[in-house]
Amino acid sequence: MLAIPDGFRTNLRSHADDADDWLGRLPGLADRYLAAWRLVRDGNHVWHGYVGIVIPVRLPDGTAAALKISYPSPESAHEAAALTVWAGRGAVRVLRADPARQVTLLERLDNTRLLREVPVPQAIRVWGELVREMSGPVPAGPHAFDSLTDLARRWQRELPERWDRLGRPGPSWLLDEALAVCREAACGDPVSAQSNPALIHTDLHFENILATPDGTRWRAIDPKPLLGVAEFAVAPMLWNRLGELGGGAESLRTRCDALSEAAGLDRDLARRWSVAREVENHLDYLESGLPGNATRSLWVATALCGRADPDVDPAGLATL
């Protein structure tokens, strides 16, 4: 019987109102897929994030694999589809999937070797290589991926409303910066939205990149896919590991430029989309009652614009 870690229970309860009901059914769900896919558990340990649990398993031929079961939610709904598109190019490979139940059998990676343990300059190079690998065109045919153009149109409409409702929690020029890039993308600007968009991993940060078992390569996990420009993917690498910046706001802008160069991206567009994402994060954190995270997002956004409070130490805002 699957033993559910207390940390996963806590994470999921903060995310879903019906968490306990789903958690009660999780052991039976795991047993069902272990039997149906002829898998054998590889030890009693499990790994987990906020909405998904990963069970180490062995295939009938003894190959190591990982059975991932996610709480059914929109943010995880297209994970298997995205990984199938990438087919091992920069991302973990799918061996089998039941997208309707958000259950996926994946190749086994080394969960003890995350990119967060690698010095930032080297990690930036790894990140850039993965973005280049994963930025190919999406195969023709029907798909359910959201587009950056549609997201920009929604943000263009919603951000001012949320900003006013929350009492205008920041300088007005910062909201204007976020809306400007959204406006360009919403109008179909070929640079900001890209006429032939790539499938991008919008949550590609230090903890979502693991080494292969032989240690020779790195692979992305837990994608939140979106059709758009890869510049939109830079932001998560900026709001993490702030304690290692050293030079404050200027160092953050230098990191943004280095990420763009490593992945072959437009520096200005990467900065502008990162500002927009952090403005949206700032509002989301305030709405969720997380003022500390909101302060971090506000600092990152203003720092990228060259207008951060010089008295704020980013190390005090760090999460990773």
Percent of the chain scoring above 90 in pLDDT:
76
Determine the Cα–Cα distance for residues 189 and 37; give it in Å rounded to an integer: 46
Helix locations, 5-45, DSSP H: 6-13, 19-36
- At 148-167, the pLDDT tens digits run 999 999 999 999 999 999 99
- Which residues, including other chains, have CB under 8 Å from residue 312's CB and lie 6 or more apart? 299
How many C-beta atoms surround the C-beta of residue 231 within 10 A?
Answer: 27
Just list the catalytic residues: 203
Other C-beta atoms closer than 10 Å to the C-beta of 43 total 9
pLDDT higher than 70, residue 318 = no
Rg (CA), the chain: 20
Please list, in sequence order, all residues whose beta carbon lies within 8 angstroms of the beta carbon of residue 189, skipping any fewer than 6 positions away: none
Strands 52-58 and 40-41: antiparallel
pLDDT in tens, 227-266: 999 999 999 999 999 989 887 899 999 999 999 999 999 9
pTM: 0.92
Confidence of residue 8 (pLDDT cuts 50, 70, 90): confident
Is residue 1's pLDDT more than 60?
A: yes
Domains (range + CATH), the chain: 6-111 (3.30.200.20), 113-317 (3.90.1200.10)
